[in-house]
Structure 1
Amino acid sequence: MTLTDIAIQNLRRRKGKTTFLVLTFVLVISITVALNTLAKSMHDDLQKSLTQYGANVVITPKSEHFTLSYGGLSVPGVNYEVKQLNYDSLARIKSNPDLAVSGIAPKIIGSVTGAKKRYLIIGVDFPNELKMKPWWQINGRQPGDQEVIIGSGIASKENLGIGSTLALNHQNYPIVGIMEETGGSEDNGVFTNFSTSRALTGIDSWSMIELNTAQPNKTAAYLSELLPEAKVAEISQLVQGAKESVDRFSNFSLITSIVLGVIGVLIVFVTTYGNINDRVAELGILQAIGFRRRHIYSILIREIVLVSLSGGVLGYLSGELTPILLGPIAFQKTVSFQFNPLIALTAISASLLVGIVSIFLARRAISLNPLEALSYI
């Protein structure tokens, strides 16, 4: 019979205490893993939303602003030294491998004279624009050269529809689509492609470049150096509330994990110490019949390794499965199972470390003289 066989037999003889220790490991680790898995899932969902929907970095031409002050009152001034956002700016962004850009949408924005008023002209790359703005819904088709799409506000106010024409700069442009109401400035805009917008507005540079990136902070800082002629701004207000909620839950998960970890460690230490003290006579008999202290240490370490390893593995698995079952009920979100090697390794290693340390804390009982140990019988 090997030392491992002896350790297994000892665990079988003490089923109650063994089960209690295993459940302690399972409970602490599963709750910790479940909370951290939920926090990570919420953070990933936020990043995914930022990546898939809408721009989070906006690039505009840099300008200096002069403000007038009269008697301590500031009044709007003028912009001067307005720099152009040349077309090569877009090429520099696209060719840079360090930028984690998942979507890019340049624009040419200007105004032109119509039959009765001036219209806002927005030249866009429709495939990229619609990818970044899925809430844009167009009735009709995308415009070609010398064709336009109008916002719902213009269509309703001027009684225009698909097939009508819009007079711009004393020339009629066919309307091939109408954008559904968005509640924004798009409702009163006229959309077309780049070549037509250049011809209408006479603008020969980008008015704005919108980017979608998974790392808006780093991207904005990097682009500020890459494009000195541009003003780079991160749109953080749109996600500030969601980010704060995710951060609060992450902090709650961390604090709860620490508290549970401390409680679990104390329970394991106290239980293991008590178990070994209860087995002083048994350990004395083992030494009396020829077992060395290193053999006894080895048996006890094998016992706690089996217990803590089982508890660590079961705790990790239950911790990963709990969010899948309770996520739709408690958090109104679906969490898919994803094996995380780092979390698994950390959870199992921590349980093994706690178990082994608890054995050495009870070394006094193991170090007793065989005759002194036998006196406990």
Structure 2
Amino acid sequence: MTLTDIAIQNLRRRKGRTLFLLLTFILVVGITVALNSLAKGMQDDLQKSLAQYGANLVITPKSEHFTLSYGGLSVPGVNYELNHLDYDSVAKLNNNPELMLNGIAPKLIGSAAGTTDPYLIIGVDFTSELKMKPWWHIDGNLPGENEVIIGSGLARKENLVIGNTLELNYRSYSIVGVMQETGGSEDNGVFTKFETARSITGIDSWSMIELNTAQPTKAAALLTELLPGAKVSELSQLVQGSKESVDRFSNVSLITSILLGLIGALIVFVTMTGSINDRTTEIGIFRAIGFRRQHILSILIREAFFVSLCGGFFGYLLGGLAPAFLAPITFQKSMSFEFHPLIALTVISASVIIGVVSTLLPARRAIHLDPLEALSSI
């Protein structure tokens, strides 16, 4: 019979204590994995929401403002030294991987004379714009050359429908679509392709560039250096409060995991100490029939190893499956079980280390027992 067989037989004989230790490891590892899986799932979901919500950075031409004051009373001033966003600005942004862009939507904004009132002209790349603004819904088709889309407010105001024409700077443009109401300035705008907007307004530079990036604060600092003639504004999104809550939950999960590890180590230590106290006679017999100290130590370590290994494995499975049931109830989000080999290896290894290290001190006491003193208790 090998030392491993002896260790396994000892675990089988003490089913109650073995089951208690096994459940301890399963619960400690399971709760740790579940909490961190929920935190990671919430972070991934938040990142996906950030990518789909819209722009979190806006780049506009930088200008200096001169304010007039008469007797302490300020009156509207004027802008001077107005810079421009050249067309190569978009290429600079796309070619910089440090910005971690999820989307980019440049705009060309100007005005054009109409039959009675001027119109707001907005030139966009519809593919990029619709990706960044999923709440935009267009009835009709996307515009081609010399074609436009109008906002719902403008359509109601002037009683325009798809198929009509709109006169802009004394030229007629076909209306091929109507944007559904958004509640913003888009409702009164005229949207078209860059080339058409450029020919209508005569503007030869970007009026605004909207960005969605994974790290807006870091990107804003990089953009200030990359585009010195531009003003970079970081937008406060509705999901910002959710981000702070997710960060707090992640920190709580980390602290809880550390505390659970310490509690698990204490439980193993106390349980193994009690087990060794109850096995004084058995250890004395082992020593009397020729077992050396390292043999006794090896048996005790192997017992802790097997229990902690099984507990870590089943704990990981429990912790991985738990978020699939808890997330819809707790966070109104759906999560599915995903096997991550690296995470599994990490938590199982941590479980084994906690089990073995917590056993070393009581095991050290066991191997220094005097065989005669142990046998005297028979």
With normalisation by structure 2, the TM-score equals: 0.95
After TM superposition, give the deviation of residue 235 of structure 1 in Å: 2.2
Per mean C-alpha deviation after superposition, the further-off stretch among 41-50 and 61-70 is: 61-70
Alpha-carbon distance between aligned partners in 2 of 1:313 and 1:75, rounded to the nearest angstrom: 72
State whether residues 150 and 179 of structure 1, in contact with CA within 8 Å, keep that contact through their aligned partners in structure 2.
yes
- In structure 2, the CA distance between the partners of 1:118 and 1:269, relative to structure 1 (3 Å rule), is same
- Residue pairs, 1:211-290, within 5 angstroms: 211-290=211-290
Question: Is there any run of 5+ residues in structure 2 with no aligned partner, and where?
Answer: none
Alpha-carbon distance between aligned partners in 1 of 2:124 and 2:139, rounded to the nearest angstrom: 17
In structure 2, the residue matched to 1:301 is: 301
In structure 2, the residue matched to 1:37 is: 37
Alpha-carbon distance between aligned partners in 2 of 1:31 and 1:356, rounded to the nearest angstrom: 20
Aligned residues: 377
SS in 1 for 2:347: helix
Alpha-carbon distance between aligned partners in 1 of 2:121 and 2:107, rounded to the nearest angstrom: 10
In structure 2, the residue matched to 1:316 is: 316
SS in 2 for 1:123: strand
State whether residues 280 and 366 of structure 1, in contact with CA within 8 Å, keep that contact through their aligned partners in structure 2.
no
Alpha-carbon distance between aligned partners in 2 of 1:74 and 1:234, rounded to the nearest angstrom: 28
After TM superposition, give the deviation of residue 69 of structure 1 in Å: 4.5
After TM superposition, give the deviation of residue 76 of structure 1 in Å: 4.0
Alpha-carbon distance between aligned partners in 2 of 1:42 and 1:178, rounded to the nearest angstrom: 37
State whether residues 273 and 358 of structure 1, in contact with CA within 8 Å, keep that contact through their aligned partners in structure 2.
no
1:364 matched to 2:365: yes
After TM superposition, give the deviation of residue 72 of structure 1 in Å: 5.3
Question: What do residues 282-331 of structure 1 show as CA deviations (whole Å, max 9, x unaligned)?
Answer: 11110010000000000110100000011111111110000012222232
After TM superposition, give the deviation of residue 89 of structure 1 in Å: 0.8
SS in 2 for 1:353: helix
After TM superposition, give the deviation of residue 246 of structure 1 in Å: 1.1
Which amino acid counterpart does residue 28 of structure 2 have in structure 1? V
After TM superposition, give the deviation of residue 58 of structure 1 in Å: 1.6
Which amino acid counterpart does residue 260 of structure 1 have in structure 2? L
Alpha-carbon distance between aligned partners in 2 of 1:371 and 1:72, rounded to the nearest angstrom: 100
Alpha-carbon distance between aligned partners in 1 of 2:335 and 2:173, rounded to the nearest angstrom: 50
In structure 1, the residue matched to 2:85 is: 85
- Percent identity over the alignment? 72
Alpha-carbon distance between aligned partners in 1 of 2:40 and 2:187, rounded to the nearest angstrom: 38
SS in 1 for 2:239: helix
SS in 2 for 1:181: coil
Alpha-carbon distance between aligned partners in 2 of 1:335 and 1:69, rounded to the nearest angstrom: 59
- Residue pairs, 1:119-268, within 5 angstroms: 119-268=119-268
In structure 2, the residue matched to 1:51 is: 51
Per mean C-alpha deviation after superposition, the further-off stretch among 206-215 and 25-34 is: 206-215
- In structure 2, the CA distance between the partners of 1:271 and 1:159, relative to structure 1 (3 Å rule), is same
Alpha-carbon distance between aligned partners in 2 of 1:84 and 1:191, rounded to the nearest angstrom: 21
Question: What do residues 128-171 of structure 1 show as CA deviations (whole Å, max 9, x unaligned)?
Answer: 11121111111111111221110000001111111112121122
After TM superposition, give the deviation of residue 351 of structure 1 in Å: 1.4
Which amino acid counterpart does residue 193 of structure 1 have in structure 2? K
- In structure 2, the CA distance between the partners of 1:320 and 1:71, relative to structure 1 (3 Å rule), is farther
Question: What do residues 189-219 of structure 1 show as CA deviations (whole Å, max 9, x unaligned)?
Answer: 1101111111111110001111222232332
- Runs of 4+ that moved beyond 6 A: none
SS in 1 for 2:79: strand
SS in 1 for 2:98: coil
Which amino acid counterpart does residue 377 of structure 2 have in structure 1? Y
State whether residues 57 and 233 of structure 1, in contact with CA within 8 Å, keep that contact through their aligned partners in structure 2.
yes
Alpha-carbon distance between aligned partners in 2 of 1:70 and 1:31, rounded to the nearest angstrom: 68
SS in 2 for 1:324: helix
Which amino acid counterpart does residue 36 of structure 2 have in structure 1? N
Alpha-carbon distance between aligned partners in 2 of 1:141 and 1:347, rounded to the nearest angstrom: 54
Per mean C-alpha deviation after superposition, the further-off stretch among 240-249 and 35-44 is: 240-249
- Residue pairs, 1:2-13, within 5 angstroms: 2-13=2-13
Alpha-carbon distance between aligned partners in 2 of 1:341 and 1:215, rounded to the nearest angstrom: 28
Per mean C-alpha deviation after superposition, the further-off stretch among 49-58 and 353-362 is: 49-58
State whether residues 130 and 136 of structure 2, in contact with CA within 8 Å, keep that contact through their aligned partners in structure 1.
yes
Alpha-carbon distance between aligned partners in 1 of 2:353 and 2:238, rounded to the nearest angstrom: 44
After TM superposition, give the deviation of residue 127 of structure 1 in Å: 1.4
Question: Is there any run of 5+ residues in structure 1 with no aligned partner, and where?
Answer: none
Which amino acid counterpart does residue 305 of structure 1 have in structure 2? F
Alpha-carbon distance between aligned partners in 2 of 1:360 and 1:125, rounded to the nearest angstrom: 67
Question: What do residues 321-377 of structure 1 show as CA deviations (whole Å, max 9, x unaligned)?
Answer: 000122222321111222234432332122112211222211223211111222233
Which amino acid counterpart does residue 375 of structure 2 have in structure 1? L
After TM superposition, give the deviation of residue 73 of structure 1 in Å: 5.5
After TM superposition, give the deviation of residue 99 of structure 1 in Å: 3.4
State whether residues 36 and 254 of structure 2, in contact with CA within 8 Å, keep that contact through their aligned partners in structure 1.
yes
- In structure 2, the CA distance between the partners of 1:69 and 1:7, relative to structure 1 (3 Å rule), is farther
After TM superposition, give the deviation of residue 71 of structure 1 in Å: 5.5
State whether residues 108 and 206 of structure 1, in contact with CA within 8 Å, keep that contact through their aligned partners in structure 2.
yes
Per mean C-alpha deviation after superposition, the further-off stretch among 333-342 and 68-77 is: 68-77
Give the CA RMSD over aligned residues: 1.7
In structure 1, the residue matched to 2:104 is: 104
State whether residues 305 and 352 of structure 2, in contact with CA within 8 Å, keep that contact through their aligned partners in structure 1.
yes
